[in-house]
Amino acid sequence: MARGPILVLNAGSSSIKSALFDGALDEVLRLEATGIPGDGFVSSNRGERRAAKLRDHAAALSALLEMLDAEGVALKDLGAVAHRVVHGGTELVRARRVTPDVRETIEDCIPLAPLHNPHHLAAIDAMTALAPDLPQFASFDTAFHATNSDIARRYALPDGRETAGLQRYGFHGNSYAALVRALPQMTGEPLPRRLLALHLGNGASLCAILNGRSVATTMGYSPVSGITMGTRPGDIDANAVLHLARTLGIDDAHQLLNHHSGLLGLSGETADMRALTASDRPENAFAVEHFCYWAARHAGSMIAAMKGIDAIAFTGGIGENATEVRNNILDKLSWAGDIPSYTVPAAEERHIAAEAAALMDAQ
């Protein structure tokens, strides 16, 4: 079925990243608006870079679309816009066309993802204002993990109004879904039945994928839990969090756990894995080892959830590029036997475009 290009948007607090895909779902162009709110820039992977006043997400999106037009693709030429949305809660468990009801549900999930969903909504609303008749779609990072069992999702808390919504949601779902799609294309073989997937980047998680479906993952109610990350600590005792909240206050404790912990906190210097692995500082070496140790330790949990393992796949910036880290983790998992391992380039944007295209074709 002929369709116009699909523009994928990933709106964050200070930037909007985008990728344009043609009718065959081949990537054509990448654009990014950075510096929201204030004096920023719009740039493309073709080398263009322009200063721009980005007072809010609407202004950033307009500037991005102006550069897209200059690259030969007008707004009227687009077939659809597809958004990466971090949290879909318990209702949005598959890609959806954005309708008023879907938008309302994304808004209802803001308490679950206060650092992400508001910015996704800002991009959705700005695009609606610019092109009200252009179809918009959303793919949710939490959706891939909706196949987890109740036992895997539920915290051991009593039922009650104050505990409603407290469960393991899991994240990086678009990345894992893209990996499931890409790995068989890469190997020419069926997807391994029991696949341990590691999305390793500034945010990092593991996923147990059994017969192509998530059965367990390391992130939980929020992206803070699981393994050591760039600026997040991974698993930490709940009473330690309460201690931080009492001594620092809730807001400062939130900042510490989300922005000043993990590799950055351990090294006292940087969260950049490239800098850490290139350094001879003992603190930096300890941070790298901490990252690898906890990735391997949580891998044992994922393997238990699948009752075994047939293959391992790495993706994400660290997973794709940090050979030393991959080998360290694989060495720590050598007890599991000679397991095939793969490095799969991240393709979240293409997966999001493919989901939008499938929904368009179904209509």
Catalytic residues: 141
Radius of gyration of the chain (CA): 21
Strands (E), the chain: 6-11, 15-21, 27-34, 38-44, 49-54, 80-85, 96-97, 136-140, 194-200, 204-210, 213-217, 311-315, 341-343
The two three-digit tokens of residue 177, written as one number:
């879904």
Asked if 299 and 328 touch (Cβ cutoff 8 Å), the reply is no
% helix, strand, coil for the chain, step of 5:
45, 20, 35
Q: Which residues of 158-188 are buried (b: 16+ CB within 10 A; e: fewer)?
A: eeeeeeeeebbbbbbbbbbbbbbbbbeeeee
The two three-digit tokens of residue 69, written as one number:
């037009």
Give the span between the Cα atoms of 13 and 37, in whole angstroms. Answer: 9
Give the span between the Cα atoms of 279 and 294, in whole angstroms. Answer: 21
Identity (one letter) of the amino acid at 256?
A: L
Give the span between the Cα atoms of 285 and 319, in whole angstroms. Answer: 18
CA dihedral 239, 240, 246, 249 (to 10 degrees): -130
Which residues, at least 6 apart from 13, have a Cβ–Cβ distance to it below 8 Å? 36, 115, 119
Paired residues of 312 in beta bridges: 196, 341
